[in-house]
Amino acid sequence: MKAFAVTGRPIGFSRSPDLFNKAFAAASIDAAYTRLACASAGEAVQIAKDLGLDGFNVTSPFKESIVPLLDSLDATAVSTGAVNTVVNRNGRFKGSNTDVEGVMGALHAAGVEVRGRRALVLGAGGAGKAAAYALRKGGASRVAIANRTDARAREAASVLRCDWVRAADVTDETADADIIVSCLPAGASLIEHGSLLRGRAVLDASYRGSMLAGGAGTWGYRFVGGTEWLVHQAAAGFRHFTGVEAPVPAMRNAADEFSGRDNGRDSRVVLVGFMGAGKSTVGPLLARRLGFEFHDIDWCVEGMTGADVATVFRTKGEAFFRAAESSELKRLAVRSNVVIAAGGGAVLSEENRELLASSCTVVWLAAPFPACVRRAGGPARPLLHGKDESEARRLFDERLPLYLSTSDIVFDSAAVPAGELTERIAGEIGFAIAR
């Protein structure tokens, strides 16, 4: 199975897993896609290497900081100084920028002609640079960049060989522009009043609560939502990942389905991961932080049988334990306001994986193999006790794709102390992952 992900900070809101997983299914490609929650671009690259990912997407704020960490760049990444797609080729990471195709695809799909038009880009980060580059390559007669920090707009314009305007002059520049592309963070704006946009085409990179979306009918401008940008850049990324054309209708359907979901915080959080990944340590801390109950499936089985896990394995066998484990998961996965630490092998059951994917937010604590073995040694881990490291490694490798295909979001649980990891998980869950 091929393994892919998207990374950024925050990342819990990302729709990319929905788009890519639907596309993989539609194209009959054996692959899975999840979210990597990382504090930095460097951490993202490291965990991608540790997990052996075949590729990953990059969103804010890592699109620029990841550039020097990669082995090579294609022409779009070099020209924009930003990367949103990374492909693993025989252990070497190559960066591309498919936001360029996302911008042009979104505008063309909306019937917006770029050639010969004057364009204004708001924001000089990775997305803004991609937008300016795309518009210039698309034949716009003038492209100007504005940013809340003038120095950054000036720097981006120098790299991209386009114009820049001071934030204080955006109102005047808006009057001369035919196309305006906003690449500002969700909720931010440099446009003081919607009437300034009358008669213009407006593309907003944000697909989360755009401040510009609601004014189109009132003020008479053509609004192009960020979902179109998302779909077209994802389709280009799919081609980079797989070598085949993307099933765009499947991706668009996934985006539309996501938009209609309840984005409230999931009340059932399940921690999965290999033995020693930290589920029993982080679980109680996370439950306390969220105000939820905590349940450890191993402890539940011990309570059911009156024996510790090692004894259950020795006297009743693994099959008995797995059945009891599944029974406890079914019992708890319908409750609200719970954090559940699943056993390391819970994902071996397809029924368990389907249950977790359909009813819970699944957090994968993905500690590297050496850290897991170091933490998990001893008779309390019956599947590891008495076995050499190669056998433990076989179990680890066997389960990695199952953790990935089941998870909503991944954290490197060996990278930071348990208390800090708990805060990071709680913060990401606050961005309302919905399946």
Which part of the chain is CATH 3.40.50.10860?
Answer: 2-97+230-259
User: Would you state the pLDDT for residue 171?
Assistant: 87
Confidence of residue 264 (pLDDT cuts 50, 70, 90): very low
What value does the mean pLDDT take over residues 217-233?
A: 90
Confidence of residue 434 (pLDDT cuts 50, 70, 90): very low
User: Would you state the pLDDT for residue 384?
Assistant: 58
Percent of the chain with pLDDT over 70: 93
Tokens of 312: 């259950």
CATH architecture assigned to 268-429:
3-Layer(aba) Sandwich (3.40)
* H-type alpha helices, 208-278: 216-219, 226-242, 248-259
CB 409 within 8 A of CB 34: yes
Q: Whole-model pTM above 0.85?
A: yes
CB 202 within 8 A of CB 216: yes
Q: Reply yes or no on whether the pLDDT at 214 is more than 90.
A: no
User: Would you state the pLDDT for residue 210?
Assistant: 73
**Helical (H) or strand (E) element with 163:** strand 163-164
User: Would you state the pLDDT for residue 371?
Assistant: 84
Confidence of residue 429 (pLDDT cuts 50, 70, 90): confident
What value does the mean pLDDT take over residues 323-327?
A: 96
CATH class given for the domain over 2-97+230-259:
alpha beta
CATH 3.40.50.720 is held by the domain 101-224: yes
Confidence of residue 218 (pLDDT cuts 50, 70, 90): confident
Place of tokens 């994986």: 353
Q: How far apart are CA 433 and CA 20, in angstroms?
A: 16
CB 204 within 8 A of CB 121: no
Which part of the chain is CATH 3.40.50.720?
Answer: 101-224
Which part of the chain is CATH 3.40.50.300?
Answer: 268-429
Supply the residues annotated as catalytic: 63
For the chain, the helix, strand and coil percentages under 3-state DSSP, each to the nearest 5: 50, 15, 35
